[in-house]
Structure 1
C-alpha cells in the first residue's frame, strides 16, 4: 500500500457473505431491501421496495414527486445500463415565460420549478422489466410505514423546523401534513402519511385484476401518470410562495405528464487502473468523475492520496477543472459536449498540465471539441460577477434546500443496482391535499440564459446532480453512490482512490476523512460559487489544512464527521459479496449475509 494507512479504528466492518448485500442512507430501507432478498426476491425487487420506503422515511431527502438515476446490471450481462427517471421541463416552462415574471433564476422552492416527476414511473419500469415480484407485495412495506407510522429521523425534524414559518404562513397544506399539532415534531415522533398510503394502495389495486404481471404494473403506471400526478399539477396552478419571495403558479400540465415515461439508456464509461467505470451521460454530472479519474491515471500513487497535503491539493485542483467543464458543457442538449471528446487523450493531457502546486482562482473550462466555452454569470455576495473573488451571502445548504438518498443492492445471482433517488422533498413545494407529497424543483438546475447546454428548455431534462456509479473488472463489481448535490462524485472520488489504489477496505475508505471544492457553479438556487473554497473534515489533520492554506485554498473546517455519505456493495474476484455504508449522521447502514 502506497497510500497513508487507514486509521486503526473503523466504525464498523466491511460486511461479507454469499447470499446478498443491501446498503442505503436509512436503516429501514436497508432492512426492507434485505427482507425482500430473504423472501426470494432479486436485487431489483429489493431496490424498488426499499425506494418506496425511502419516500416515507426520508421525506426531506426524496419523494414520489422527485426523480431518479440508477445504474443496473442484470446477472449475466456484460455492461450496466442507466435507468432514466429524470423528467423534462414542461411545455410552459420556458426562459421567456419565467423572465416575464421578473425572474433571472428558476426558484429553488415552489411549483414553478417542477419538472415532470420521474422517480415512481422509473421504479415501476424497473420492477416490470427486471423484477420478479408482484407490485402489491413490493408496496406493502411502504404502505405499512405510511399508514401505521415510523419514527421521524432527526434530519427530517430539523428540516421541518427550518421551514415551519413558511408552512404556517404560506403552505398550509404542508403544515397540516408535517405539523398536525401546530408544532414541529421532535425526532423519533411517530409520524404517519395515510394519504400517500392510499395512493400506493390505488397503484397496487390497479395491478391486481390484471392476469399478466407486466401488464398489471403498466396499469399502475397509468394510474400514477394519468390520475395521481394530474391532481398535483392542478393544485400547484394556484399561485403560491416561491423561494424568490413571490407568488407564482406552476405550469406542469396533464399533457406534459402523459407525454413522458421513464426509460433505459446506455451508460458511458472510462477505464482507470484496470477497472471500467460506468456513469450516466452528460444530462447528469456523472462524466465529470470519469474525467477526474482519467486525469489522475498516470500520476504516482502518492500524488493522489487524499490523506496527504499533496494528494488533497491535487484532488481539489482536478475537481475544479472537471466541474468547470461540467458547468460549461453538460446538459440535455444537442450542443452538450460529446463524452468521447471530453475523455480524449489529447484533451486530458491538456487539462492535466494545468494542475500545479498552487490553488487556482478562476473557473477554467476547456474546449474539448474546439468550441469556445460559455459560462453563465457567476454569483458571489456582491451579485453577478465574472472575477474570481468574493463569497456567497447565502448558506450553501440554504434554508429550504433538500438533499438526496442512495441505495445499493447485489444479490446471490449477480444482479446489481446503484440508485440515487432525490427531489420532491417535503420543502420543495406545497404538499398536495389527498396525495401526501409535493412536486420537486429540479428545474432550478437550469439557466434562464439561451444558448447554454443546461438552459431551461421545454421538453429537455434539467442537468441533474444525481450520479450513481458502477465499476467492473472481470468478475468483480462495485456499486456505489452518495447524497450531496454537487458533492456526490466529489465524495465518491476519495473512496474510489482509497479502495482501487490505496488498498483500503471499502468501509475504511468510506470512514476516512474527506474533502471537496466549492469553486464551482452551484447547481441549486441561488446558484452561487466560492472561488478558492475548500471544505474539509477536521480529521484530515492540521498539517494538511495548513498546507492547503499555504497553497492558496480558502479552507473551511466542517467538523470531524460531516462530509461524505457514500454507501456501496460489491463482489470480489472470488465471488464473495460485500457491503459498506456511511456512519455520518448515524442513519445509513449496510446489511447482508
Structure 2
C-alpha cells in the first residue's frame, strides 16, 4: 500500500475538498443540515473570502462547473466580471502605460464572485440566504485564527499599506505591524456587508428566491455599488509606482450579472472532460490532451518519467502558445479546429527530442497567429521585478511559492457535483473599500493594451482568466470534480493529476501527493507578462536520474521545494455504487477534505 500524506476519504453521504480546512468543514456543515452540494459550495465560497483573504475576495471572480442529480449535463457558471465601460486602451495609453498595472484601482474588472455564488444558490441550492451566509458572518464578525501565509502576505505589503493604502492599513495592521500567525482576526465591516445583504433579502418577503434576488440587487444596484462607485474615484498607488483612480462605477456593477453557459468538452479515454469556454484558459487542458493522443505513444502519458514529462511539457507549450494567440472573450476563437484531431496531429509533429525554447502558436484554418508586441520584441527593456501585489502565481528560484486563488469541490449523495475556483480581490490587490471591508480585484492585468489581439482590452469584454475548474463525466454521469490554484500552472497541475488518476489508476490522494512539475516556457498571464524559455520547474523529490535526463534533452530544470507545487482538490462519485471519495493537497498545510 502506497504511503500518502492523508487518506483518500470514502463514504456515501457527502464530500467536500477545499484549500482551507474551515471552508471544507463549513461546506460539510451545510450538507449535514440538509443542504445539497450547491448550498455547501456557496457556504464555502463566502467563508473562503474570510479565511483566505490573500487568495480571494468578494471583489474578485469565480468560474464554476456543475452537474445536478436531475440533469447531469455539465454547466458553466460564468462569474468573471468584464472590463468596466471606462477601461479603454486609449485611457491606459494616455496615462503612459504599455501594460496594465498588476495592482491598484486601475486593474479592477467588475466584481463577479458574489453575484455568481448567489446565482448558484438561487438556481440550484435549497437553503436560505441567511443559512448559507451564517458561517461567513460568524467568522468575519467574531474572528478566526490567522494562518501563517495570510500574515506573511500582509507583512510583504505592510509599507504599501502604511504609506499609501490607509483603509487597508486600518483593517490589517496593528500599531503599524502585520498580524502574527495564530492571532485572532475579525473583519466586522465585511460581516456588516453580509448582514445587510441578508436584511435586504428579508425585506423582500418570505420567498427564498425573492430574498436571494433582493440581495443581488443590493449588491449590484444598492449600497455595495454606491460604495464602490465612490471609492473608485479616489487615486491610490499601484504597481506602476504612481497613483491613479479606478474605473469601475456603480453603473458597471448594475450592468453585470453572472450567467450559465455551455461548457467546452472533450471525449478522452472513455471520459468527457468539461472546461469553460476560451474566455478562460480551460481549453488548454483539452488541447494538450489531444496533442498527447496524437503522438500515438502510451508512454507519453506518464508524468513521472523523463520521456513522459518531456512529451507532456512540449504539448503544454504548444497549447499555451495557442492560448496566447487565439483565446479570448469573443466569437472569433477557432475552437472547433483547435480541438480537432487533424489540428492535433499537425501540432504533435512539432514535439521533438529536444526542449523547445520558443512560443509557437499554430495556424488553425490557415489563419495567421498574432502575438502581442511585448512577446514578439525580445529587445524590449526588462520589466520591473514582481512584487507581492501583482499576480497570481509564481514559484521563485528559491522554491518559495505564492498563489492568490482558492478552490472548492463538493459532491453529495444525490449526485450533485460542483467544481469552483474563486479568486481575485485579494487583500494585496487594491485598497480596501472601508464601508465594505474588502478590496476590488486586479484581473484586467491579463488584457493587452494593443488592438486586434485575442485578449485585447475592451469595455464589456471579460479578461481571459487563468481560473479553470474541471468536471469529468463517464457514460453521461459526473464522476470527478477537481481544480487547483496557481495561475498559468492550474491546468498543468490538473493534467498531471488526471493522467495519474484516470489513466494511471492511482487513488485521488496518491495522484495529488505525487511529485509535481510545470513548464514556465509560456507567455505569463500576469504583470509583467514574462516568458522563461525552456524552464521546467520540478519538485526536488523527482528522481535525480529523471532530472538529469530532462536536462540532457535541453530543459532548463529549476528545482523547487519538495512539497511546493500544486494545490489540487478533488472529489469523486461512482454512479454504480454511490461511493464518494475526496482528496486534498498537503502542500501549504492548509487544504483539507472532509466527508462521510
TM-score (norm 2): 0.95
Confirm or deny: 8 A CA contact 1:424 1:437 kept in the other structure: yes
Cα deviations by residue, 1:527-563 (Å, 9 ceiling, x for unpaired): 1110111100011121111111111111111110000
User: Structure 2 matches for 1:479-558, cutoff 5 A?
Assistant: 479-558=481-560
State the partner residue of 1:186.
180
Match status 1:371 vs 2:367: yes
Q: Work out the CA distance in 1 between the residues paired with 2:25 and 2:18.
A: 9
Change in CA separation of 1:193 and 1:476 when aligned onto 2, cut-off 3 Å? closer
Q: Which runs of 5+ in 1 are unaligned?
A: 1-6
Q: Which residue, 268, 271, 278 being the options, matches 1:275?
A: 271
Q: Work out the CA distance in 1 between the residues paired with 2:14 and 2:343.
A: 41
Deviation at 1:180, TM superposition (A): 3.1
Q: Work out the CA distance in 2 between the residues paired with 1:391 and 1:112.
A: 22
Q: Work out the CA distance in 2 between the residues paired with 1:65 and 1:103.
A: 24
| Count of residues in correspondence between the two structures | 580
User: Structure 2 matches for 1:400-549, cutoff 5 A?
Assistant: 400-402=390-392, 403-474=404-475, 475=477, 477-549=479-551
User: Structure 2 matches for 1:135-284, cutoff 5 A?
Assistant: 135-209=129-203, 210-226=205-221, 227-284=223-280
Deviation at 1:141, TM superposition (A): 0.3
Q: Work out the CA distance in 1 between the residues paired with 2:208 and 2:111.
A: 24
State the partner residue of 2:591.
588
State the partner residue of 1:89.
83
Deviation at 1:217, TM superposition (A): 0.5
Q: Work out the CA distance in 1 between the residues paired with 2:381 and 2:446.
A: 22
Q: Work out the CA distance in 2 between the residues paired with 1:496 and 1:400.
A: 30
Match status 1:13 vs 2:14: no
> Secondary structure at 1:479's aligned position in 2?
strand
Match status 1:316 vs 2:308: no
Q: Work out the CA distance in 1 between the residues paired with 2:369 and 2:578.
A: 46
Deviation at 1:9, TM superposition (A): 2.0
Match status 1:354 vs 2:354: no
Change in CA separation of 1:353 and 1:398 when aligned onto 2, cut-off 3 Å? farther
State the partner residue of 1:330.
327
Q: Work out the CA distance in 1 between the residues paired with 2:374 and 2:556.
A: 18
Change in CA separation of 1:371 and 1:400 when aligned onto 2, cut-off 3 Å? closer
Deviation at 1:254, TM superposition (A): 1.4
Deviation at 1:188, TM superposition (A): 1.1
Confirm or deny: 8 A CA contact 1:110 1:241 kept in the other structure: yes
Deviation at 1:399, TM superposition (A): 5.3
Q: Work out the CA distance in 1 between the residues paired with 2:559 and 2:383.
A: 17
State the partner residue of 1:394.
385
Confirm or deny: 8 A CA contact 2:189 2:437 kept in the other structure: yes
> Secondary structure at 2:437's aligned position in 1?
coil
Runs of 4+ off more than 6 Å: 389-393
State the partner residue of 1:385.
377
Match status 1:66 vs 2:57: no
State the partner residue of 2:285.
289
Moved more, 267-276 or 293-302: 293-302
State the partner residue of 2:401.
none
Deviation at 1:344, TM superposition (A): 1.3
Confirm or deny: 8 A CA contact 1:124 1:217 kept in the other structure: yes
Q: Work out the CA distance in 2 between the residues paired with 1:56 and 1:183.
A: 20
Cα deviations by residue, 1:237-259 (Å, 9 ceiling, x for unpaired): 11110101111110111111111
Confirm or deny: 8 A CA contact 1:391 1:530 kept in the other structure: no
Q: Work out the CA distance in 1 between the residues paired with 2:101 and 2:378.
A: 22
Q: Work out the CA distance in 2 between the residues paired with 1:353 and 1:532.
A: 18
Cα deviations by residue, 1:491-539 (Å, 9 ceiling, x for unpaired): 0000000011111111100000011111111111111110111100011
CA RMSD of aligned residues (A): 1.6
TM-score (norm 1): 0.96
> Secondary structure at 2:313's aligned position in 1?
helix
